[in-house]
Amino acid sequence: MDVVLTLLGIGIAALSGLPGLFMARTAMSGQRLTTLLAVLGAGLGLAGVGCFWIIGESQPLVLAWSVPGAEFNVAMDGLSAIFLVPIFLISLLGSVYGLGYWKQTAHPENGRKLGLFYGTLTAGMALLVIARNSILFLFGWEIMALSAFFLVTTEDEEKEVRDAGWIYLVATHVATLCLFAVFGLLRKSLGSFALTPLAEGSLTPAMATAIFVLALVGFGLKAGIMPLHVWLPSAHAAAPSHVSAIMSGVLIKMGIYGLVRVTSLLPAPPLEWGTAVLALGVVSGVLGVAFAIGQHDLKRLLAYHSIENIGIIVMGLGLALIGRSLSRPDWIILGLGGALLHVWNHALFKALLFLSAGSVVHTVHTRAIDRLGGLAKVMPWTAVCFVVGAVAICGLPPLNGFISEFLIYVGLFGTLGNGEGASFAGVAFAAPALALIGALAVACFVKVYGAVFLGTARSERALHAHESSPSMLVPMSALVVCCCLIGLVPLLLVPALGQGISAWAPNVKDAGPALVTLAPLGWITVMGMVLIAVLLVCGGVLWVRLQRSVVAYGPTWRCGYAAPTSRMQYTGSSFAQMLVNLFGWALRPRTHRPGKLTLFPQKTDFHSEVPDTVLDDAVLPAFRFGARLFSWFRMFQQGNIQVYLLYIFLALIALLIWR
Amino acid sequence: MNTMIHNTIHVLLALTLPPLLLGIIGKTKALFAGRIGPPLLQPYYDLIKLFQKGSVFGTTTTWMFRAGPVVGLATSALTVLFIPLVNGTAPISFTGDLILLAYLLALGRFFTASAALDTGSSFEGMGAAREVTFACLAEPALFLGLLVLAKLSGSLQLAGMLGNSLAAHWATSGAALALVLLSWFIVLLAENARIPFDDPNTHLELTMIHEVMILDHSGPAYGMILYGAALKLFVFTALIVRLACPVATGSPWLDWPIFVVAILAVAVVIGIAESTMARLRLIHVPVLLVAACLSSAFGFILLVR
């Protein structure tokens, strides 16, 4: 039942954009139909997950499939269910948002294409999550990867967008190449392409390590683990905002899903894997947020925060892996529980932030943080949505981000009590690192919210901004509600998380109840309520005092200067400057400053930027070198399709002979 | 019944004592400068006066400007309930309460810094930038210290970590605890805008941190900020007191007075520290905070070596 409903949802989502292709591209009717189908498909998918949670596990569905070695084998388990929810939920809200944000009447040249690939992206992701055969998994994976490419390059008339698209395409193909190797090696050990757990002792340590490392690179590229994140910032910035929301909130989580799934298949992970994953998580988390602080582009900044949050998720996964190596169920439960919950949480608040950013970009037509300002007065709803997203992503109570970070903190502190001494103390250092990440995130979001929404408008466009339409505000408000709900009543999610944990580590029984005993989620609810009550009391006191005393209004105190302009406000770049300098060793900020000023200085300018160090200083030079090295290979590239067909024919002949 | 009385004293003391700490610090600094200084209870008079005054709001501000003081006060008021003042018990105590404590303070910081940016003044922007930047380095120092205490006590509750067993640990792991004490004292000075990080009495907006963030607040809202800051100072001072003198005689008639004397003594120490040091140049502040982190980290390494 659950699998059938989900498959039906996937089918409808995949085809949702198709009827629209045959309708007028300058009218809204096609887009409305596409949205309706997408909502229907996502709704059916969510109903399928609901069925799974209420009724329980069902039989896998196996259909005949003519692809050699493959079978169409789909099934639902706790892990699939957890990853399916954000896929369908964000897809649903994103397509509704698109009705106001990317009106087909305003974008006749690419509106239909966007609708088509939004549906196939959803379908591809959902398919790979329920696939139980690696060929089928790769099938879904490639549908997802290519749809995302077409979505990123929606506005392909702009060079910046095309560049972002190409970098993404290269990265995703490298990832797929690694996955071919992973599944090839798995087949060698298992004898089939089925995704079933390997028996203990069926893998040599070298083979297991090879599979693990390849999976870490392949899935890490998709997830955007630092330093494999090179494609992520520009792709997220270039795409339309509801596409950025689903890419950042959901698509990169498919890398996490892959890592979680593959590590669940491998028996007895050695301690080094968990430690390496944890270390990667710390690096991603700290450097992700450090790079975010240096950005001037609103959406690029949010993209770097995805790298940070992936880092937090990976830290949880690392803790769970360490727990499996040392047979500590409590670390598995807290680490994986925190990681899986953060997958949800990040999907919710990052989608919320991208949709709010889209709401801003939609009216001011710029992503430059330092050109904005004072938007909270003209777009109050968007401002509130952004604050909620910002508080949630900083991991602050009483919202959802706090819950998952809390679980990971408790797990990390818990490793202190293992009595194994110094050899193991390094793991606990991840807790202060997480504190550093949290504090940096607060700094970054104060900067963004302050520069974009507070103060006064820094440009004409920001001055004449207006609030977005309800079709954009409703999906944002729905995400606000989800963030608050999870933050205040996390106990609601415990059964789902428990099933996910048990699916990953079958020998951990009753993970749900154990999670509640390990981490006092009931107390979190109580404290959330108390916090709201105290806030209301303090707010009430202030309100009463203001009612009963004289309140005057005047200009901001400028320390005696009488003619301030909005350009004299503290900009986002000035706000971030100290932190950027502190992390200068990694960010390598570039500044262009005027030379020595003469006695009567002429008009001059100053600008600074934080480019992506890994992309600019490592990947691009390496690729240029590679391109030079392989330039002789061009003689095979004739630009003639008949010749290419000949190559394929020759390759097939060669393979047949080799067989 | 006993717990109830204990908790009532805790709440009453934690809500009424904090401004006195400010008074004592001020008096100590005045004595060092050869002045008589304002009365010890001056901070209370200030608060009462401010709550009766009218206010001026900037025309550029939004709801965030009002939310800053409210959230700042609410979060500090909530955190005083987590700290065990005497006998290793606190009104609210559960596994992981230390994390909630740190994150509640961060929530307050988010809103006070945003309220500062709401004015559109570049001075307040500077203050907010400095506040959040230095917090990035103070937070890991706090958590590294918590690691030491968690390792020693085997507990994940502040009440257990700063409980009565700490006295015995001073005998066995004194060096590690002393390093944490040093680190947390630096964090206290940084988080509460004290010299050498920030001079609450300075005259130049350009060099301030905390004070410049709240330049535009007035009347009751400003009173809430001052009271919230006093509560935050109380939280950090109480942490230091419990860490440095975890005595428990067993009798509440002795324990509470000992605690009050100890916390006032720490206030005097803060006053002395402020009187004998000059404010650091801003670019040197991160160095001192990194030193605080390293101090706690060395403490942790001493423990697990």
Q: How long is chain B? A: 305
**Measured between alpha carbons, how far apart are the two ends of chain B, in Å?**
44
Give the confidence band of A420 by pLDDT, cuts at 50, 70, 90.
Answer: low
Across B22-26, average pLDDT:
94
The Cα of A307 is separated from the nearest Cα of chain B by a number of Å equal to: 19
- Residue A34 amino acid letter: T
Residue A609: per-residue pLDDT: 87
Residue A350 lies in a domain: yes
**Residue A424 pLDDT grade (very low, low, confident, very high; cuts 50, 70, 90):** low
pLDDT at A617 over 90: no
φ/ψ (deg, to 5) at B56? -125, 130
Q: Do A531 and B286 touch (CB under 8 A)?
A: no
Say whether both A340 and A483 belong to one domain.
yes
Contact B58 A557 (CB under 8 A): yes
Q: Give a yes or no: residue A482 inside a domain.
A: yes
Question: pLDDT of A455-474, one tens digit each?
Answer: 888 888 888 888 999 999 99
Average pLDDT, chain B: 91
- pLDDT of res. A294: 92
In a domain, A230, yes or no: no
Identify from B15, B97, B122 which residue to disrupt to test chain A contact, counting A C-beta atoms within 10 A and taking the largest count: B122
- Kindly state the helix (H) or strand (E) to which residue A562 belongs, with its residue range: none
Phi (first) and psi of residue A72, to 5 degrees = -85, 90
Residues A344 and A487 in one domain: yes
Looking at the partner chain, which of A523, A531, A569 has a beta carbon nearest the beta carbon of B122? A569
Give how many domains chain A has, as a whole number: 2
At residue A633's C-alpha, the angle toward residues A631 and A635, to 5°, is 105
Q: Between A78-101 and A28-55, two packed helices, what is the crossing angle to 10 degrees?
A: 160
Note whether A585 and A640 are same-domain residues.
Answer: no
Q: Which of A346, A132, A186 is nearest to A256 (CA)?
A: A346
According to the model, what pLDDT value does residue A143 have?
A: 95
Judge: B154–A566 Cβ closer than 8 Å, yes or no.
no
A138-147, A241-250, A511-520, range with the lowest pLDDT: A511-520
A18-64 residue pLDDT tens: 998 898 888 888 899 999 999 999 999 999 999 999 887 778 888 88
pLDDT of residue A332: 92
- Structural domain contains residue A513: yes
Distance, C-alpha A617 to centroid of its chain: 24
Residues A499 and A641 in one domain: no
Residue A596 has pLDDT above 90, yes or no: no
The position carrying tokens 């060793």 is A585
> Is residue A519 a part of any domain in this protein?
yes
Question: Is A337 among the domain residues?
Answer: yes
Tokens at residue A559, please? 């320390």
Helices A329-364, A78-101: axis angle to 10 degrees equals 10
Report whether B276 contacts B201 (CB < 8 A). Answer: no
Give dist(CA A233, CA A235) in Å, integer: 6
SS (H, E, C) A365-391: CCCEHHHCCCHHHHCHHHHHHHHHHHH
Task: Assess whether pLDDT exceeds 90 at residue A288.
Answer: yes
> If you average pLDDT over residues B190-196, what whole number do you get?
89
Phi, psi of B156 (to 5 degrees): -115, 25
Q: Are residues A584 and A619 in the same domain?
A: no
Q: How far is B64 from chain A (nearest CA, A)?
A: 9
**Among B149, B95, B161, which residue's Cα sits nearest to residue A330?**
B95
Does the pLDDT of residue A118 top 90, yes or no?
A: yes
> For B60-90, what is each residue's pLDDT tens digit?
899 999 999 999 999 999 999 999 988 788 8
* Same domain? A617 vs A535: no
- Domain span at residue A382 reads 332-417+427-543+569-591+606-611
* B154–chain A nearest CA distance, Å: 6
- Together in a domain, A581 and A636: no
Look up the ipTM and state it: 0.95
Contact B112, B69 (CB under 8 A): yes
Same domain, A520 and A640: no
DSSP string, A137-198: HHHHHHHHHHHHHHHHTTTTTSHHHHHHHHHHHHHHHHHHHHHHHHHHHHHHHHSSSB--PP
Cis amide linkage into residue A19, ω under 30° from 0: no
Mutant choice from A375, A578, A585 vs B, greatest count of B C-beta within 10 A = A578
Nearest-CA distance A575 → chain B (Å): 5
Taking only the tens place, the pLDDT of each residue in A394-419 is 999 899 999 999 999 999 998 887 65
A454 in Cβ contact with B64 (< 8 Å): yes
pLDDT computed for residue A512 by the predictor? 81
Q: What is the pLDDT of residues B25-42, one digit of tens each?
A: 999 999 999 999 899 999
Q: How far apart are CA A46 and CA A89, in angstroms?
A: 7
**Residues A161, A299: contact at Cβ < 8 Å?**
no
Q: Are A154 and A110 contacting, i.e. CB atoms less than 8 angstroms apart?
A: yes
Task: Indicate which of B101, B114, B187 best probes the interface with A, i.e. most A CBs within 10 Å of its own CB.
Answer: B114
HSE-up of B207 (CA within 13 Å, CB side)?
Answer: 15
- The C-alpha of B135 sits at a distance from chain A's nearest C-alpha, in angstroms, of 7
Cβ A439–B135 below 8 Å, yes or no? yes
pLDDT in tens, A232-280: 999 999 999 999 999 999 999 999 999 999 999 988 888 899 999 999 9
Residue A399: predicted pLDDT: 94
Same domain for A527 and A619? Answer: no
Same domain, A580 and A653: no
Whether residues B94 and A413 touch (CB distance < 8 A) is answered with no
What is the model's pLDDT at position B87?
79
Residue A507 lies in a domain: yes
Mean pLDDT of A353-379: 92
B202 touches chain A (CB under 8 A): no
B59/A556 Cα distance (integer angstroms): 7
Question: What are the distances in angstroms from CA A337 to CA A345, A409, A416, A484, B269?
Answer: 12, 12, 19, 19, 44
Nearest to B283 by CA among B127, B130, B125, B109: B130
Which among B199, B204, B205, B225 has a CA at the least distance from the CA of B285? B199
Residue A505 and residue A633 in one domain: no
Whole-angstrom Cα distance, residue B163 to residue B85? 9
Beta-carbon separation of A456 and B60 below 8 A: yes
One domain for residues A439 and A492: yes
pLDDT computed for residue A421 by the predictor: 47
CB A399 within 8 A of CB A391: yes
Q: Is residue A522 part of a domain?
A: yes
Helix (H) or strand (E) run with residue B126 in it = helix B122-153
Helix (H, G, I), strand (E, B) or coil at A557: coil
Is the pLDDT at A309 greater than 90? The verdict is: yes
Percentage of the residues of chain A whose pLDDT score is greater than 70: 99
In 3-state terms, what secondary structure has residue A475? Answer: helix
